[in-house]
Amino acid sequence: MSCAICDIRKEKRFCPAVHGRICPQCCGEQREVTLDCPSDCPYLQQAREHEKPRSGDQFDRASLFLQVEISEQFTYEREHLLMGLSYALAQAAHADRCLNDRDLIAALSAICTRYERLVNSGLHYDQPLASAAQHAVGAQVEEMLEQYRETEHKQLGYSTLRDSDVLKSLVFLVRLGHGRTSGRPKSRAFIDFLFAQFPEKHSAVVTPQEAGSRIIVP
């Protein structure tokens, strides 16, 4: 039997993305490029285990918002904010199973640009999002931020959350996303990382000890 993709080489493994058997070469070349690989595919999982981290020259430096400085102290002081935003991203991805890393990172980047403009100039300007999926991610993030501020008001009588804190937290997650994704068009490695931190029925409310244990520095 020949490969269901190239129809030339001999098939040797079952591909759940095409519901047929394909050759190892097509699996390696088309994985997360033309194929929507399910997260539980053993060949995808095996590839991720052996995949080397992307080198610095593979990143667009502007996409990492390097002008925004994030200290280790900040990640410690705002760990609950980082966890809340991570949970919001996981919820958005749970709600839309077609969402991929590129969509998620693009939405985060657009929100970062908006908050950077707000911090630097005080101007409120909604950065247009490219798709309905990205818009849904943005809405989830903003809803979480509103809930965070409301919780602070209830506990303290005021909110300590500054726009600059939001910007740093979002940039942290953008960098984390770029570090976790494979960079391939249909990659969901970053999303699967978020799912591992927040299973679908997990609550956003965590103890300080739980929050700290889930913060992963990019």
Q: What pLDDT is recorded for position 130?
A: 65
11 and 99, same domain (yes or no): no
139 and 66, same domain (yes or no): yes
Question: Are residues 134 and 103 in contact, defined by beta-carbon separation less than 8 angstroms?
Answer: yes
Q: What percent of the chain has pLDDT over 90?
A: 70
- Give me the chain's average pLDDT, please: 87
Range of the domain at 163: 60-214
Which stretch, 32-36, 116-120, 122-126, 129-133, has highest mean pLDDT?
32-36
21 contacts: CB under 8 Å, gap ≥ 6: 1, 3, 4, 11, 12, 13, 14, 15
Mean per-residue pLDDT, 151-156: 89
3 and 110, same domain (yes or no): no
d(CA 133, CA 92): 9
17 and 107, same domain (yes or no): no
Region of 19 (left: φ > 0; alpha: ψ -120 to 50; beta: rest) is left
Secondary structure tally for the chain: helices H, strands E? 9, 2
The tally of domains found in the chain comes to 2
115 and 210, same domain (yes or no): yes
d(CA 21, CA 19): 7
115 and 15, same domain (yes or no): no
Mean per-residue pLDDT, 150-172: 93
156 contacts: CB under 8 Å, gap ≥ 6: none
Q: Does the structure show a pLDDT above 50 at 206?
A: no
Q: What pLDDT is recorded for position 213?
A: 41
Dihedral, 161, 74, 209, 212 alpha carbons, nearest 10 = 120
Under DSSP, is residue 159 helix (H, G, I), strand (E, B) or coil? coil
Per residue in 48-69, pLDDT (tens digit) is: 998 887 766 677 888 999 999 9
Mean per-residue pLDDT, 162-186: 95
Mean per-residue pLDDT, 133-143: 91
Confidence of residue 132 (pLDDT cuts 50, 70, 90): confident
Inter-CA distances, 44 with 13, 104, 184, 190, Å: 12, 20, 13, 14
- Using a 10 angstrom Cβ sphere, with 0-12 exposed, 13-18 middle and 19 or more buried, the burial of residue 23 is buried
Confidence of residue 216 (pLDDT cuts 50, 70, 90): very low
114 and 11, same domain (yes or no): no
Dihedral, 30, 106, 71, 119 alpha carbons, nearest 10 = 170
Q: Say which residue, 218 or 133, is predicted with more confidence.
A: 133
83 and 39, same domain (yes or no): no
Confidence of residue 13 (pLDDT cuts 50, 70, 90): very high
66 and 142, same domain (yes or no): yes
66 and 154, same domain (yes or no): yes
**Residue 74, CB half-sphere, CA atoms under 13 Å: how many?**
17
Mean per-residue pLDDT, 186-200: 92
Q: What percent of the chain has pLDDT over 70?
A: 86
188 and 208, same domain (yes or no): yes
Mean per-residue pLDDT, 30-58: 89
